Amino acid sequence: MVPEHVDAAEDDASALTLKILVAGGFGVGKTTLVGAVSETRPLRTEERLSAAGQWVDDTGGADHRTATTVAMDFGRVTIRSGLSLHLFGTPGQDRFWFLWDELSQGALGAVVLADTRRLEDCFPAVDYFEYRKIPFVVAVNCFTGARTFDVQDISRALDLDHGTPVVLCDARDRESGKDVLVRLVDHAGRMHAARLLASVG
């Protein structure tokens, strides 16, 4: 008879944990998404916005914001038995871009959150992941009162590479956020498999 603790150890050994980034412009809902889906209390590094930062932080369209992420958000979510994700929310302001290279090391892929009222704010994140060939999905956070657009129109407006998924979501809703993550894992898995086949072909 196999001891129970041996079975548990084998289960731990076979478990897979993947690293995912959650990126996008200032105030688009990155911290909200990580907090909504995380099974553990999320780590947040928010600081209050100050008058000193008004000259370097573009808060246009997000004037209601009183705080901002200055390093990262972190959360953990189980997708299914044996598969969990570690989520790293990136800071949205230009002055914290130096953190992105560190955070992106070893990442399977990324979620780029977008707000149709300020769609141009997610261009830097899209360019970043396309240039580094990191698989990503664009998740349009459907804010109350924001105009809705067809996903094909959003894809064209962002000039996305063919096959990059665009999904609609509510960053406040756990199930909606998990659906986005499942879509990303599926997309990233397909891209990595295709690259592997191309490299051995």
pTM, rounded to two decimals: 0.80
CA nearest neighbour of 29 among 93, 92, 117: 92
Tell me: the pLDDT tens digits for 9-40? 445 556 899 999 999 988 899 999 999 999 99
**Residues 6+ positions from 4 with CB-CB distance below 8 Å:** none
pLDDT at 71 over 80: no
**Residues 6+ positions from 23 with CB-CB distance below 8 Å:** 30, 89, 90, 100, 110, 111, 112, 113, 122, 125, 128, 129, 136
CA nearest neighbour of 110 among 164, 36, 170, 42: 164
- For residue 151, the model assigns a pLDDT of 94
Tell me: the pLDDT tens digits for 127-185? 999 999 999 999 999 988 778 889 999 999 999 999 999 999 999 999 999 999 999 99
The SS3 assignment for 101 reads helix
Query: What's the start-to-end Cα distance of the chain, in Å?
Result: 45
pLDDT at 92 over 90: no
- For residue 45, the model assigns a pLDDT of 59
- For residue 147, the model assigns a pLDDT of 81
- For residue 9, the model assigns a pLDDT of 45
Question: For 90-98, what is the mean pLDDT?
Answer: 69
Q: Cα(178)–Cα(14) distance, rounded to whole angstroms?
A: 22
DSSP string, 130-166: HHTT--EEEEEE--TTPPP--HHHHHHHTTPPTT--E
Tell me: the pLDDT tens digits for 108-142? 999 999 999 999 999 999 999 999 999 999 999 99
* Strand-by-strand arrangement of the 83-89 sheet: 73-80, 83-89, 16-24, 109-114, 136-141, 166-169
- Residue 167's beta-bridge partner residues? 139
Of 69 and 175, which is predicted with more confidence? 175
Q: Exposure of 173 by Cβ count < 10 A (0-12 exposed, 13-18 middle, 19+ buried)?
A: middle
Exposed e or buried b per residue across 61-99, where buried means at least 16 C-beta atoms within 10 angstroms of its C-beta: ebeeeeebbebbbbbbbeeeeeeebbbbbbbbbeebeeb
- The answer to whether residues 71 and 92 touch, using CB atoms and an 8 Å cutoff, is no
- For residue 100, the model assigns a pLDDT of 85
- For residue 200, the model assigns a pLDDT of 84
Fold of 4-200: Rossmann fold (3.40.50)
Tell me: the pLDDT tens digits for 54-66? 544 455 555 554 4
pLDDT at 3 over 50: no
